Amino acid sequence: MQELFEPLSAGKLELPNRLVMAPMTRSRAGAGGIVTELTAEYYRQRAAAGLIITEGTQPSVRGQGYIQTPGLHSDDQVTAWRAVTDAVHAEGGRIFAQLMHSGRVGHPVLYPDGGLPLGPSPIATGDKLFTPDGMLDHPVPQEMTLDDIAQAVAEFAAAARNAIAAGFDGVELHGANGYLIQQFLADGSNTRTDAYGGTIENRIRFAVEAVRAAADVIGPERVALRISPGGTSSGVSESDTPELYSALTEALAPLGLAYLHVMEELNRETTRRISAEWPGTLILNPHPTPDAFPATPEHGAEALREGVADAIAFGELWLANPDLPARIKAGGPYTKADRATFYGGDHHGYTDYPPLP
């Protein structure tokens, strides 16, 4: 497992190891999308990661897709996040905020004005939103106008600026898992006929503009993008995955981003292609086969040895093992995550996983 403990550069950050904490929605933010002292403790406990990437954080009111998720679009939210970043940095850690505009993955109950969620085209996800009052169908989203698209790009940039004000080392834009950026990329959710739909060149346009806008305000070395090539979360579908992501990586390569984060979806060949074409640091959440969920240290070490990644992102392992580097070095044991406490609740299943004695 020595490969996992070699240092690495990501932008201007020097990572002491290649064990990245993947973004994981935990739905424990307070009213107004404000993180709490419990959030600070949760991330502080995991500061031994080479890099922490936070849970998806909405860049705007309309960007919210789930209950009790945090934001980075108000002064109060920025102030609250500062306590989190201070706690992580006090332990010697590094932390990026993941900016997640959920797009059509939303519902009017989440928004003060009761309006519809936004999407590239008026096509519903087919999924539901969990609420304390029961499951609600995602509605058909409002198709974004050109002004809406420009506004969303500006919101990513503003949230990136807020993240730096909150003490984050950088931001990762969420272009994976069926959220707004992937909704534009995927031809199953994007049936537009203007400059943002149709051809691959047009469908990557929103992703490139959003990444470039964030890079323009905080510097490209502090900006990253997460993608999930071929992923079908929240009803998205892509008919041209290899060509689509080759075009996207080619368009982003000259920007000099901190890293590209790939959520692998049972397709190591696509991962190899992206890795070969991406000139910078590549972080991989490795899932080459159906039995690779959740990813294990062995999956990560294999990916590093194969040369398809520079660092490895783990989700469930970090959730239940706050001292993951120490456990890997010791050869385990690994605590099993309690799925019943993944979303919402108090400290149970959040900050009460014990470290090794």
Q: Which residues of 290-318 are buried (b: 16+ CB within 10 A; e: fewer)?
A: eebebbbbebbbbbbeeebbbbbbbbbbb
Alpha carbons 349 and 75: distance in angstroms, whole number: 29
Q: Which residue has the tokens 């993955």?
A: 105
DSSP state of 179: S
Given the residues 42, 43, 66, 179, the one annotated as active site: 179
Alpha carbons 264 and 246: distance in angstroms, whole number: 15
Alpha carbons 261 and 224: distance in angstroms, whole number: 7
Pair of tokens at residue 266: 């049972």
Percentages helix, strand, coil for the chain, rounded to the nearest 5?
40, 15, 45
| CA 343, 345, 346, 352 torsion-angle sign | negative
Alpha carbons 320 and 107: distance in angstroms, whole number: 30
The rounded Cα 112 to chain-centroid distance in angstroms is 25
Task: Give the amino acid at 289.
Answer: T
User: Strand 259-263 to strand 128-131: parallel, antiparallel, or no bridges (unpaired)?
Assistant: unpaired
- CA distances to 33, 60, 119, 181, 349 from 210, rounded to whole Å, are 22, 14, 15, 9, 34
Q: Give catalytic status of residue 343 as yes or no.
A: no
Positions marked active-site: 179
